[in-house]
């Protein structure tokens, strides 16, 4: 049985029985773009991008299928062979017998040590792996072998690393021919692989990348000999887990020395070191560096390796926007892992981990903005520039580029030239920008000027045309207004906004004609209100292109039917790319009034028309119309159809009134809560595909309970919790988060290392770990809602929503985060209630006002860490 336990609040943990966790993996990555994944058996890949894989690309299946994994062999003097990675035919055969190795993983942010103990041999191998923080594109490994037996033990150590050394596409496309391009040379510390040419979607190019496997002993000695090809190592009769070079006494391997070369074959870095003899209790270590355009020789030394490991651990800890304490130390530790997930997605995008076996790097539009929620909580000054640059991806018609490269400002429309508009894309930038403004009080970001994105897609993706579009620009606020107002005017026949290519739910992609997303109509209703609030708080005048001002100030009489709304939109689309009208400076209050009119219109429309019931006790909001123009939710035959997305955004967008909010929470609990699977799921079972399911999207082709078809989808579940907190439904919100947390940490069932996965499958297994927007949302929710530490026009609002059982035994709960350029610890002291009545900082007592506790930013000025003690009590102190 595998069991996981945290060792401290930093998130260090120990997993026993780890050989049973063959499919659980870790990312090891750095800012330089090195991206590795690694399991307790050292499976997983290692690359810097789509075209530069050192170890062959891995999907979740190849993690256990492939034997082409990192390996380190001990050839004992008696002829026996043992793998420190557990990847030998003999160890696999013994896996379920009493002779199985005992395997423990110790891990932390972001390193792992796998301890593998072979009782029969009296041997313990500890393999530590990490990618050093910084820009060196190298993965490091230390193998330490200890003699735990009573007698001396002698063996010859051999590192064996398969070198794929090319682009991911060649796994299937010319795998053999691209091997003919490979050139390998033996150097003093190991092997160097280059290619004469590469050929892929970029064309035929000179091979410029260099893949290396270098190794030294702890005393600094390089390998005594090497092999460079798979054939030479495995032999014709052998395999990676039973290599002829080590296992077949009748086979003489063609060992190589520095200067020797090989070409035209599948390559390996096989580094054999001098034989050792260990007395009882003695240890010996070997250091390895797997590099892509970076040899990493400097790390092949005990001190340098230790130093880099310590630096890496510190770097990852610092990526956390907040450190929480309270009743449950495991929760604090788990949140440390959740807290680095936004950084992982910043580096890996939505590709490059075993479940994320799609895409070619880069990030999607909505993910970019949502990951920034947590990133800006850590470092708003740096994120400010990124946010401003991201706006250059917005087209003048309110749609946007969908693919974002590694560098801010690096945009493209869909790679396959598919014209697809996701109707939710206009929603996310405001959410993030508003958080930035509230945290910092920096309204000037709204007046920053940015260009509009220009390509051949026109009229909300309805046409392709290569007519040149003149360069034009506008303020960030104008970009935001265009995104939200054009969405308002993109009306479907029931008055909600058209679904088009899909919304947040990528798998609702088959209702482009008549589909509507009621859910995101509610979301946009909330956004229009938020925008109005920002304008009022900013004050002064808002300068807009004449065409945009006209769109904004459309007579409300034109809202009344979907046809009229669409006519307004089409008129705008015809003129938006070739602006001719003079700029207009509108009073901010006038802009806000117009936005509020639109928001009110949508809210009252949805409240009036979209609440559905099961005919018994439950009532909630319909989320969609399908491609037949039929309402999706409610009672259909014997089935009740309900989806979570509409509930989230009707709460968040203020569409549901307080009574409806309570009804929604009850209906979600009744129809969507699935405790055995880990929480609130995305939808009820709509039945067999085709027969019962609405024409809405591929999601209904997925088996029920998986991914977008009704899984416990953590991203949406966390947004649901956030919405509940926002609406004052604290206990309900806390319960949703608690379920996700306990499921994530239930290793026996979920099978994932700490962190929150994208979803839990019907068996409760955590899927698509690490690279999910759930990470950013959870940090955002915990900090700004549960602990209630958030900016309000740059001032610090302290408004905790912690339940009594979330405080430590001494009645405290605290969070350390960044605010106003300082490290701030807010420590809540619970006396006899939940209401913040006063704060103490720098020896000063600040009483709460009638609207609660809000500390002016000026009070927080200064350097160095700051502690704010907040008393929570039943009543206001007189």
Exactly one of 715, 727, 797, 801 binds ligand G1P (CB under 6 A); which one? 715
428, 652 contact by CB (below 8 A): no
Query: Helix, strand or coil for residue 52?
Result: strand
User: 578 to 597, contacts with ligand G1P by CB under 6 A?
Assistant: none
| Nearer to ligand G1P among residue 603 and residue 707 (C-beta) | 707
Chain positions 753 to 772 lying near ligand G1P, rule: CB under 6 A, are 758, 772
Q: What tokens does 641 get?
A: 């159809």
Under the criterion CB under 6 A, does residue 505 sit at the interface with ligand G1P?
Answer: yes
Binding flag, residue 402, ligand G1P (CB under 6 A): no
Min dist CB 201 to ligand G1P, Å, is: 23
The vertex-651 CA angle with 649 and 656, nearest 5°, equals 110
Nearer to ligand G1P, 641 or 715 (CB): 715
State in angstroms the smallest separation of the CB of 404 from ligand G1P.
12
Is there a contact between 289 and 298 (Cβ–Cβ < 8 Å)? no
Q: Which stretch binds ligand G1P (CB under 6 A): 501-509, 622-630, 636-644, 846-854?
A: 501-509
What does DSSP say about strands 822-830 and 866-873: parallel, antiparallel, or unpaired?
Answer: parallel
Question: How many other C-beta atoms can be found within 10 angstroms of the C-beta atom of residue 557?
Answer: 8
342 in Cβ contact with 779 (< 8 Å): yes
- List phi, psi (to 5°) of 333: -65, -45
The long-range contacts involving 171-174, CB below 8 angstroms and separated by at least 24 positions, are: 171/56, 171/57, 173/200, 174/199
Does 367 engage in binding with ligand G1P (CB under 6 A)?
A: yes
Task: Indicate which single residue of 774, 781, 783, 839 sits in contact with ligand G1P (rule: CB under 6 A).
Answer: 774
Our finding on whether 506 is near ligand G1P (CB under 6 A) is: yes
Binding to ligand G1P (CB under 6 A) within 322-351 occurs at: 350
| Window contacting ligand G1P (CB under 6 A); options: 363-371, 375-383, 616-624, 627-635 | 363-371
Per-position x/- string for 507-526, each x denoting binding to ligand G1P as judged by CB under 6 A, each - no binding: x-------------------
Q: From 123-131, 204-212, 502-510, 643-651, give the range in contact with ligand G1P by CB under 6 A.
A: 502-510
Residue with Cβ nearer ligand G1P (192 or 335): 335
Nearer CB in complex with ligand G1P: 121/355? 355
Cβ proximity to ligand G1P, 11 vs 773, nearer residue = 773
Name the residue nearer to ligand G1P (CB basis): 189 or 758: 758
> At closest approach, how far in Å is the CB of 694 from ligand G1P?
17
Indicate the residue among 331 and 365 with the shorter CB distance to ligand G1P: 365
The window from 122-130, 318-326, 362-370, 474-482 that contacts ligand G1P (CB under 6 A) reads: 362-370
Q: How far is the CB of 773 from ligand G1P (least distance, A)?
A: 3
Order of strands across the sheet that contains 866-873:
322-325, 812-819, 822-830, 866-873, 835-841, 844-847
Of residues 67 and 366, the one with the C-beta less far from ligand G1P = 366
Least CB distance from residue 370 to ligand G1P, whole Å?
7
Query: Considering only 2-10, 500-508, 569-577, 834-842, which stretch makes contact with ligand G1P by CB under 6 A?
Result: 500-508
Site string for ligand G1P, 690-709 (x = CB under 6 A): ------------------x-
Place of tokens 């123009």: 629
CA distance 360 to 106: 31
Which residue of this chain has its Cβ atom nearest to ligand G1P in the complex? Answer: 773
Place of tokens 């499958």: 761
Is 751 a residue that touches ligand G1P (CB under 6 A)? no
Q: Report the distance separating Cα 264 and Cα 266, nearest Å.
A: 7
Are 348 and 35 a contacting pair, CB within 8 Å?
A: yes
Please say which residue, 405 or 856, places its beta carbon nearer to ligand G1P: 405
Q: Which long-range contacts (CB under 8 A, 24 or more apart) does 740-743 make?
A: 740/678, 740/679, 740/712, 740/714, 740/774, 740/778, 741/331, 741/334, 742/678, 743/677, 743/678, 743/679, 743/712
CB of 757 to ligand G1P, least distance (A): 8
Ramachandran category for residue 799: left, alpha or beta (phi over 0 → left; psi -120 to 50 → alpha): beta
Per CB under 6 A, the list member of 504, 524, 704, 780 interacting with ligand G1P is 504
Decide: is 646 part of the binding site for ligand G1P (CB under 6 A).
Answer: no
- Kindly indicate which of the ranges 461-469, 491-499, 505-513, 803-811 contains the residues binding ligand G1P, using the contact rule CB under 6 A: 505-513
Least distance from ligand G1P to the Cβ atom of residue 702, Å: 11
Q: What is the 3-state secondary structure (H, E, C) of 362-383?
A: CEEHHHHHHHHHHHHHHCHHHH
Ramachandran sector of residue 80 (left: φ over 0; alpha: ψ -120 to 50; beta: rest): beta
Site residue total, ligand G1P (CB under 6 A): 14
Per DSSP, 101 falls in state: P
Based on CB atoms, which residue is closest to ligand G1P, 479 or 707?
A: 707
CB nearer to ligand G1P: give 451 or 762: 762
Q: Does 371 bind ligand G1P (CB under 6 A)?
A: no
Judged by DSSP in three states, 4 sits in: strand
Give the pair of three-digit tokens for residue 27. 């990312």
- Judged by beta carbon, residue 348 or residue 534, the one nearer ligand G1P is 348
Q: CB-wise, 166 or 715, nearer to ligand G1P?
A: 715
Residues 6 or more apart from 67 whose CB is under 8 A from it?
87, 239, 240, 241
How far does the chain reach from its first CA to its final CA, in angstroms? 57
Dihedral sign from CA coordinates of 540, 545, 546, 547: negative
List, in sequence order, every residue forming a beta bridge with 83; answer none if it has no partner: 73
In order of 371, 729, 744, 789, 828, the CA distances from 801 in angstroms are 24, 10, 23, 10, 11
| Residue 719 beta carbon to ligand G1P: minimum distance, rounded to whole angstroms | 10
From the centroid of its chain, how far is CA 370? 10
Burial string for 84-94 (b: 16+ CB within 10 Å, else e) reads bbbbbbebbeb
Looking at beta carbons only, is 654 or 773 nearer to ligand G1P? 773
Regarding 366 and contact with ligand G1P (CB under 6 A), the answer is yes
Q: Is residue 151 a contact partner of residue 274, using CB atoms and an 8 Å limit? A: no
Residue choice 44, 364, 474, 694 for contact with ligand G1P (CB under 6 A)? 364
**Using the rule CB under 6 A, is 313 a contact of ligand G1P?**
no
**Least distance to ligand G1P, CB of residue 316, Å:** 20
Q: Which one, 136 or 708, has the nearer CB to ligand G1P?
A: 708
| CB neighbourhood size of 185 (10 A) | 17
Nearest to 493 by CA among 601, 571, 565, 399: 565
Nearer to ligand G1P (CB atom), residue 367 or residue 478: 367
- The number of CA neighbours under 13 Å toward the Cβ of 264 is 0
Phi, psi dihedrals of residue 85, rounded to the nearest 5° = -100, 0
**Is 807 in contact with 327 (CB distance < 8 Å)?**
yes
- Per-residue binder mask for ligand G1P (CB under 6 A), 375-394, x = binder: --------------------
Q: Between 342 and 800, whose beta carbon lies closer to ligand G1P? A: 342
CB of 714 to ligand G1P, least distance (A): 7
Residue 503 beta carbon to ligand G1P: minimum distance, rounded to whole angstroms: 8
Nearest to 582 by CA among 543, 535, 545: 545
507 is written with which tokens?
Answer: 């798998």
Closest approach, Cβ 697 to ligand G1P, in A, equals: 10
Q: Which stretch binds ligand G1P (CB under 6 A): 102-110, 361-369, 528-536, 721-729?
A: 361-369
Residues at the interface with ligand G1P (CB under 6 A): 350, 364, 366-367, 504-507, 708, 715, 758, 772-774
């Amino acid at each position: 049985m595998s069991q996981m336990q945290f060792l401290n609040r930093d998130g260090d943990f120990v997993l026993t029985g780890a050989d049973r966790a063959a499919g659980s993996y870790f990312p090891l990555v750095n800012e330089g773009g090195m991206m590795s994944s690694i399991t307790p058996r050292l499976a997983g890949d290692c690359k810097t991008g789509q075209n530069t894989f050192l170890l062959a690309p891995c999907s979740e299946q190849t993690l256990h299928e492939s034997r082409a994994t990192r390996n380190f062999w001990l050839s004992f003097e008696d002829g026996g062979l043992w793998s420190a990675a557990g990847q030998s035919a003999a160890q696999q055969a013994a896996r379920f017998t009493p002779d199985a190795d005992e395997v423990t993983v110790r891990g932390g942010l972001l390193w792992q040590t796998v301890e593998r103990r072979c009782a029969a041999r009296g041997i313990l191998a500890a393999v530590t792996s990490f990618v050093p923080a910084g820009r060196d594109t190298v993965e490091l490994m230390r193998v330490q072998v200890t003699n735990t037996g009573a007698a001396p033990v002698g063996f010859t150590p051999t590192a064996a690393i398969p070198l794929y050394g090319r682009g991911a596409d060649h796994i299937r496309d010319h795998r053999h021919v691209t091997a003919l391009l490979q050139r390998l040379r033996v150097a003093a510390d190991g092997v160097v692989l280059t290619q004469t040419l590469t050929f892929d979607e970029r064309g035929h190019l000179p091979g410029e990348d260099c893949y290396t496997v270098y190794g030294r002993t702890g005393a600094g000695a390089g390998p005594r000999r090497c092999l460079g090809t798979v054939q030479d190592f495995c032999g014709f009769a052998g395999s990676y887990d039973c290599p002829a070079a080590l296992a077949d006494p009748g086979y003489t391997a063609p060992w190589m020395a520095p200067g020797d070369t090989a070409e035209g074959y599948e390559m390996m870095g096989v580094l054999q070191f001098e034989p050792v003899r260990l007395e009882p209790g003695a240890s010996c270590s070997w250091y390895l560096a797997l590099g892509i355009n970076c040899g990493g020789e400097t790390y092949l030394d005990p001190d340098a390796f230790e130093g880099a490991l310590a630096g890496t651990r510190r770097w990852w800890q610092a990526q956390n926007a907040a450190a929480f304490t309270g009743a449950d130390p495991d929760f604090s530790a788990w949140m440390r892992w959740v807290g680095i997930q936004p950084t992982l997605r910043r580096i890996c995008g939505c590709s490059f981990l075993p479940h994320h076996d799609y895409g070619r790097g880069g990030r999607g539009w909505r993910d970019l903005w949502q990951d920034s929620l947590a990133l800006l909580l850590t470092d708003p000054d740096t994120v400010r520039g990124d946010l401003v640059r991201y706006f250059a991806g917005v087209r003048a018609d309110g749609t946007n580029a969908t693919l974002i490269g590694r560098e801010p400002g690096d945009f493209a429309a869909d790679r396959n030239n598919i014209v697809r508009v996701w109707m939710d894309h206009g929603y996310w930038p405001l959410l993030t920008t508003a958080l930035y403004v509230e945290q910092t009080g920096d309204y000037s970001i709204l007046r920053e000027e940015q260009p509009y994105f220009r390509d051949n897609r026109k009229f909300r993706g309805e046409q392709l045309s290569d007519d040149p579009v003149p360069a034009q620009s506008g303020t960030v606020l104008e970009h935001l207004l265009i995104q939200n107002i054009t969405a308002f005017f993109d009306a479907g026949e029931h008055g909600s906004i058209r679904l088009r290519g899909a919304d947040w739910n990528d798998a609702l992609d088959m209702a482009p004609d008549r589909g509507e997303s009621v859910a995101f109509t509610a979301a946009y209703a909330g956004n229009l209100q938020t925008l109005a609030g920002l304008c009022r708080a900013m004050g002064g005048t808002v300068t807009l292109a004449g065409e945009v001002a006209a769109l904004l100030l459309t007579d409300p009489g034109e809202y009344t039917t979907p046809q009229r709304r669409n006519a307004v939109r089409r008129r705008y689309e015809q003129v938006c790319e070739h602006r001719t009208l003079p700029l207009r400076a509108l009073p901010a209050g006038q802009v806000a009034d117009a936005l509020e009119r639109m928001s009110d219109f949508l809210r009252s429309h949805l409240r009036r028309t979209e609440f559905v019931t099961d005919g018994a006790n439950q009532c909630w909001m319909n989320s969609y119309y399908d491609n037949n123009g039929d309402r999706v939710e409610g009672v259909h035959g014997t089935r009740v159809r309900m989806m979570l997305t509409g509930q989230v955004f009707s709460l968040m967008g203020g569409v549901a009134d307080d009574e409806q909010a309570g009804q929604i929470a009850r209906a979600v609990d009744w129809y969507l809560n699935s405790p055995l699977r880990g929480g609130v799921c995305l939808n009820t079972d709509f039945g067999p595909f085709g027969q019962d399911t609405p024409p809405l999207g591929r999601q209904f082709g997925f088996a029920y309970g998986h991914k977008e078809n009704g899984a416990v989808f953590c991203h949406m579940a966390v947004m649901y919790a956030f919405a509940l907190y926002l609406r004052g439904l604290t206990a309900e919100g806390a319960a949703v988060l608690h379920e996700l947390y306990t499921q994530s940490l239930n290793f026996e069932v979920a099978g994932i290392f700490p962190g929150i996965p994208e979803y839990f499958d019907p068996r409760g297994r955590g899927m698509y770990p690490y690279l999910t927007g759930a990470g950013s949302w959870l940090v955002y929710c915990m900090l700004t809602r549960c602990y209630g530490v958030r900016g309000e026009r740059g001032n610090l609002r302290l408004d905790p929503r912690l339940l009594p059982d979330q405080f430590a035994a001494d009645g405290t709960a605290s969070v350390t985060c960044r605010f106003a350029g300082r490290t701030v610890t807010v420590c809540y002291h619970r006396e006899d209630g939940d209401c913040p009545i006063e704060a103490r900082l720098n020896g000063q007592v600040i009483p709460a006002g009638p609207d609660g506790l809000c500390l002016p930013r000026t009070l927080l000025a200064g350097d160095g860490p700051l502690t704010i003690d907040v008393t929570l009590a039943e009543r206001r102190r007189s």
